[in-house]
Chain A
Amino acid sequence: MTGAIADLSRAPPPGDLAVEICVIGSGSAGATAAWDLAAAGREVVVLEEGGDYTGERLTQRDGRMYDQLYMDRGGRTTADLGVSVLQGRVLGGGGVVNLCDVVPIPDPVLRHWQRRYGLSDFSPEALAPFRDRALADLSASLPDTADPRLFNRNNRLLRDGAAALGWRGEVMRHNRVGCEGVGTCNLGCPLDAKRNPRFVAIPRAVEAGARFFTRARAARIEGAGSEWKTVHGRRLDADGHREVGAFTVRARWVVLAANAVGSAALLLRSGIGNDRVGRHLSLQPQLPVAAWFDDEVRFFRGVPQSFAVTEFERLDDPDHGWWGFRVEAVGGTPGIVATMLPRLGLAGMRDMARLPRLAAVLCLAPDDAQGRVEVERSGRLRIRYALSDEQRGRYRAAARAAARLFLAAGAREVVVSDAPPVPVRSEADLPRLDAMSFRPATAPLLSAHQQGGVRMAPSERDGAADPEGNVHGARGIVVLDSGGFPTSASSHTMAPIITVAHFQARRLLARMRG
């Protein structure tokens, strides 16, 4: 079979398309699976709802890029608007728009999955070769901290603050090659310097014969109990805003790789699976904290996220695996920064006028996977998610830690976005943060690492798929993305997703042969 990338906004696919494997989603999981399966000689078609954006088509402009590169035009949220859910919608998926952090699944987390969730095959030893392959796919490396393009002042301030307080921290691995420090990573890299699926797994899958269809939305799957499934798809227009036609793909195997939310939603829309589908969704929300300095920081230039304070995280919590929180530097483009700063009107404009002196971090905290994906009869997606009291307490502690880090680094004022805003000018102000309510739609929490929703578990009572990813109650429908994760795999999910996709694709090939 001849591989290709075809844009369905321009022309429909062949009318009688029947293939061995249909992969839904072209991100880290889907592209990796397509590569492995096609390389093994299997006939593969991949459906991607987004378009193909590379090079200078990535304009570095907030409005156009959020519209084109993210689900719901960048506006996906939980039902209560408490958490903004950032999910890639582009050929290559989240890897195109993420901040390039490479953090594999810690061994204690894998052991936790084995012990607590019955994923006995997921031992650190079994996963190690697939983790190594993922790191090779990503060209993972440590950034040169002497190069201000790769380790900017915002990251240095965080490192300085941690050093002053005697707190643990680490330089983070990334998957950039040839980075010039443009800084707009969340809007894609116009230099194509990210070694993401768009430039690694997808071209290799195409070489091996896989066909990728962009602007191709998977609407539902029919025939879940049959040897041949029918994926009903919709062609979208060039901007991906409107449906312009329908198509079908018949396949013996359907691989779900549409992100934790998307994979669960597709099963729900199709009426496939047990009552665990959509449950156990982890959003791993992140809390932004900003600070004003007397001199320029220019956090919007350079690699946004290359240092993390790890003092308050642990990887071997007996109940959760990865737990606590970590504090990481972050950058941002003006449009999105303006939506995070708390003050309005003239005061808000004055804040933006001193943007070059702003520094920012994100506080990352794993959760109990208490979220749920629902689909209404109208087709409207709902993501239910409520912060627990324990989480609120952990975010308050994280906000305190971030404020202390900034103050130790010399900040004039720390601003934790909340309504009303909470300014901190000295350690004496820290108790103010204890009053943060974290009611929905107050602090601007965001999620970039959705996991669960089609949780893997040995028993149908506990999960929506078995440990090999086979969706319970279906035949030949397999979840290979983060939807299968039982808990937060890591602070950043790209490397974990690629690792598990390689691992599960190998096992899927073995089943297909059998």
Chain B
Amino acid sequence: MPPQYIPVLIFAVLAAAFPAVTLLIFALIRPSTGAIGAKLKPYECGIAPEGDARGRYSVRFYIVAILFVIFDVETVFLFPWAVDYRLLGIYGLISMFVFLGILIVGYVWLYRKGALEWV
């Protein structure tokens, strides 16, 4: 591992330890009462909870998630290009615009089909 990643590692360990330690401490110091009935319900601002949290979602979320993933991939390719921008020059610019152009075609198609409208 490159040595400059040691702080990242320490940070990751601390972030993982924080919730675990917090839960452990609270499990130790809280009084153990036998909670029953309404006390066990999830708290929703005082209103009685309605429905199941694991309900079915609408398929529209899936379309948005697809768009997110596709353009996430695009970002991943943009990043090394941006780092090497000066070195690659006009050639890199052209190849990146071809790449973006092909993806924009898909985006325009999606837009004109009305797949993005939140009906």
* A and B together in one complex: no
